[in-house]
C-alpha cells in the first residue's frame, strides 16, 4: 500500500503552492531521538538515513532545483572519536548504497566542505559520485561535509587575495559578486527555505553567506522522524511568507499613498 504522506503524494498536496527553488536543511536531533528510544547515538544517525532518502525523493518529485543537506560540520570533529567514525562510515556506506538510485533519478550530486582530512578512499568516492552524476539535469543534491560557513568564507578570501597578488584582479573591484564567485558553488541560487529539525534555533555555521535572505523554519521534530509530510508542512509555511528583501510590498505602498 502506498504511504498517503509519502514522497509520491507530495506533488499533489502542494499543487498550486509557491515552491522554493532551493531548500537547505540542518538535519539535527539524531542523538536525542536515539536517547528517547533508549538506544545509542549511532542508532539515531542510522535512522536519519531513511529521512534523507525520503526528503531527497520528495524534492525530486516536486521538481525543486536544489537541496543542500548538512551532514557533518567542521566543528563535529569535537565529538567522541567513536561517533565521528560511525558518521564517516555511515556516509560512505550510504553513498555506496544510494548512488546508483540517485543517478537513475537524474540527481546531480555535489559535495561542499574541506575534503582534505577525509579518508582518501572517501575522497575518491566523492570525486567519482560527482563525475558520474555531473551531466544529470534533475535535483542538485549538495551534501555539506566537513563544512563550515566561516571555513568557506576564509577559503574564498584566500582565493581572491591570491588572484589579487597575481595581478588578476584589482582589490578595489572585490564586491559581493566577486565573493559569491569565490564560494564553493558560485552558480547555485541561494536557499529560499532553511529548515532545522531537532528543536535548536541556530545556524551552527551553515551557509552563513548564502542564507542572508532565506526564510527560516524550525521544527522540534528530530531528523529521524522527518519526511515528506514534514517537508510539505515547511513548504506550506514558506509559501505563506512575504519576502521583501528590504523593499516594500506594492500593496502596502498603494495603501500608504506611496510616501
* Distance of closest approach, residue 29 Cβ to ligand IPE, in angstroms: 5
Of residues 37-96, those binding Mg ion (CB under 5 A): none
d(CA 156, CA 163): 11
Query: Residue 148 interacts with ligand IPE (CB under 6 A)?
Result: no
Q: Which does 138 bind (CB under 5 to 8 A by kind): ligand IPE, Mg ion, none?
A: none
Query: Residue 76 interacts with ligand IPE (CB under 6 A)?
Result: yes
Closest to ligand IPE by CB, 19 or 126:
126
How many binding residues for Mg ion (CB under 5 A)? 1
* Distance of closest approach, residue 75 Cβ to Mg ion, in angstroms: 10
* Distance of closest approach, residue 247 Cβ to ligand IPE, in angstroms: 32
- In sequence order, what DSSP letters do the residues of 160-174 get, joined into one string? HHHHHHTTSS-GGG-
Stretch that binds Mg ion, among 21-29, 36-44, 165-173, 237-245 (CB under 5 A): 21-29
Q: Do 13 and 232 contact (CB within 8 A), yes or no?
A: yes
Closest to Mg ion by CB, 48 or 227:
48
Please name which of 86, 21, 9, 94 lies closest in space to residue 53, comparing C-alpha atoms.
Answer: 94
The per-type count for the chain, helices as H runs and strands as E runs, is: 9, 6
Collect all residues with Cβ–Cβ distance below 8 Å to 252 and sequence separation of at least 6: none
Q: What b/e string do you get for 142-156 counting C-beta neighbours within 10 Å, with b at 16 or more? A: bbbbbbbbebbeeeb
d(CA 250, CA 253): 5
Closest to ligand IPE by CB, 6 or 40:
40
Instruction: Single out the catalytic residue among 5, 12, 30, 76.
Output: 76
Of residues 174-203, those binding ligand IPE (CB under 6 A): 198, 200, 202
Residue 30 designated active-site: no
Query: Residue 225 interacts with Mg ion (CB under 5 A)?
Result: no
Query: Residue 28 interacts with Mg ion (CB under 5 A)?
Result: yes
Query: Residue 113 interacts with ligand IPE (CB under 6 A)?
Result: no
Q: Which does 217 bind (CB under 5 to 8 A by kind): Mg ion, ligand IPE, none?
A: none
Site string for ligand IPE, 46-75 (x = CB under 6 A): ------------------------xxxx--
d(CA 19, CA 205): 25
At 25, is the secondary structure helix, strand, or coil?
A: strand
* Distance of closest approach, residue 28 Cβ to Mg ion, in angstroms: 4
Q: Could you give the dihedral angle defined by the CA atoms of residues 56, 136, 115 and 78, in that order, rounded to the nearest 10 degrees?
A: -10
Q: What b/e string do you get for 186-213 counting C-beta neighbours within 10 Å, with b at 16 or more? A: eebebbbbbbbbbeeeebebbbebbbee
Residue 205 designated active-site: no
H helices of 166-259, in order, are 176-182, 228-239, 250-255
Residues that bind Mg ion (CB under 5 A): 28
Provide the annotated active-site residues.
Answer: 28, 76
Residues that bind ligand IPE (CB under 6 A): 26-32, 70-73, 76, 87, 198, 200, 202, 204
Amino acid at each position: 500500500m502506498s504511504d498517503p504522506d509519502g514522497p509520491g503524494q507530495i506533488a499533489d498536496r502542494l499543487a498550486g503552492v509557491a515552491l522554493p527553488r532551493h531548500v537547505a536543511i540542518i538535519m539535527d536531533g539524531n542523538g536525542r531521538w536515539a536517547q528517547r528510544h533508549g538506544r545509542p547515538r549511532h542508532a539515531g544517525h542510522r535512522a536519519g538515513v531513511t529521512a534523507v532518502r525520503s526528503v531527497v525523493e520528495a524534492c525530486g518529485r516536486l521538481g525543486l532545483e536544489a537541496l543542500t543537506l548538512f551532514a557533518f560540520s567542521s566543528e563535529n570533529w569535537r565529538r567522541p572519536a567513536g561517533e565521528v567514525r560511525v558518521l564517516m562510515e555511515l556516509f560512505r556506506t550510504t553513498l555506496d548504497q544510494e548512488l546508483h538510485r540517485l543517478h537513475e533519478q537524474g540527481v546531480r550530486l555535489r559535495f561542499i566542505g574541506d575534503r582534505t582530512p577525509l579518508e582518501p578512499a572517501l575522497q575518491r568516492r566523492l570525486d567519482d559520485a560527482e563525475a558520474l552524476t555531473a551531466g544529470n539535469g534533475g535535483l542538485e543534491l549538495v551534501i555539506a561535509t566537513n563544512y563550515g560557513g566561516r571555513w568557506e568564507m576564509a577559503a574564498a578570501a584566500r582565493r581572491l587575495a591570491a588572484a589579487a597578488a597575481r595581478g588578476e584582479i584589482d582589490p578595489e573591484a572585490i564586491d559581493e559578486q566577486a565573493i559569491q564567485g569565490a564560494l564553493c558553488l558560485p552558480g547555485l541560487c541561494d536557499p529560499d527555505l532553511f529548515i532545522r529539525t531537532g528543536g535548536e534555533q541556530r545556524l551552527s555555521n551553515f551557509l552563513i553567506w548564502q542564507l542572508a535572505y532565506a526564510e527560516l523554519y524550525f521544527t522540534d521534530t528530530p531528523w529521524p522522524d522527518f519526511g515528506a509530510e514534514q517537508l510539505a508542512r515547511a513548504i506550506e509555511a514558506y509559501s505563506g511568507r512575504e519576502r521583501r528583501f528590504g523593499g516594500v510590498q506594492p500593496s502596502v505602498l498603494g495603501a500608504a499613498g506611496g510616501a
